Amino acid sequence: MPKPARKFPTRLAIIAAGIALIAAAFAAYLTPTRSRASLIGGPFALQMGDGKTLTDKDLIGHPYLVYFGYTHCPDVCPTTLAQISDVLRKLPGKPVKALFITVDPDRDSPKAMGDYVSSFDPRVIGLSGSPAEVEKAEKAFRVYARKSPTKEGDYSMDHSSVVYLMDRNGAFAEAFNLERSAEESAKELATYL
Ligand code: NI
């Protein structure tokens, strides 16, 4: 008699502990993903090369890439934009855009950004705005950007260089991988169309 009475709560406790552990593991697995996703992206309003304003709401309905950089960037930005352009060219006529947002609004006017992206796929949109507008966009995407003085008395910009893929609802989908062939990247991007 006393044996099963003792065994029962023990077994129950083990089962309960097991369930709690699985639930905790599952919650831990889900939570960072969800909070990370919701931490990236947000409302922004910036100017295109023609002076017109583009907001996140204008882009709803189709996926888009977002990349932050600046026109004086010696290597990483032009390389990344060329890669993005190659991917877009694998998707002719598809309604997917790529935003190139400046982290250097002091030097990059909307016109300068528009001129800069004109050598890439036409679906690459250059954007700038007031320092406050740019800062708002940087914060929304958790972008790091800082002026770094050069010997010549000029400056360059240290900046993070993640390519964000936003889905058709404007929600962050993933950090887009360009370290593969343009075909492979385009194939994945096409799944968000
Ligand atoms: Ni750069």
What is the per-residue pLDDT across 95-105, written as a single tens digit (0 to 9) for each? Answer: 999 999 999 99
Q: Which amino acid is at 82?
A: A
Ligand 1 mean position, distance from CA 161 (Å): 7
Q: Element (H or E) spanning 24, and its range?
A: helix 2-39
Ligand 1 mean position, distance from CA 66 (Å): 13
Total domain count, the chain? 2
Structural domain includes residue 100? yes
Ligand 1 mean position, distance from CA 83 (Å): 13
Q: Which domain holds residue 155?
A: 45-190
Ligand 1 mean position, distance from CA 75 (Å): 7
Average pLDDT over residues 1-12: 58
Same domain, 25 and 96: no
Ligand 1 mean position, distance from CA 5 (Å): 69
Structural domain includes residue 3? no
Same domain, 21 and 51: no
Structural domain includes residue 96? yes
0.75 cut: is pTM over it?
Answer: yes
Q: Measured in whole angstroms, how far is the alpha carbon of residue 164 from the centre of its chain?
A: 2
CA gyration radius for the chain? 23
Same domain, 74 and 141: yes
**Distance, CA of 32 to CA of 53 (rounded, Å):** 33
Summarised one tens digit per residue, pLDDT across range 93-137 is 999 999 999 999 999 999 999 999 999 999 999 999 999 999 999
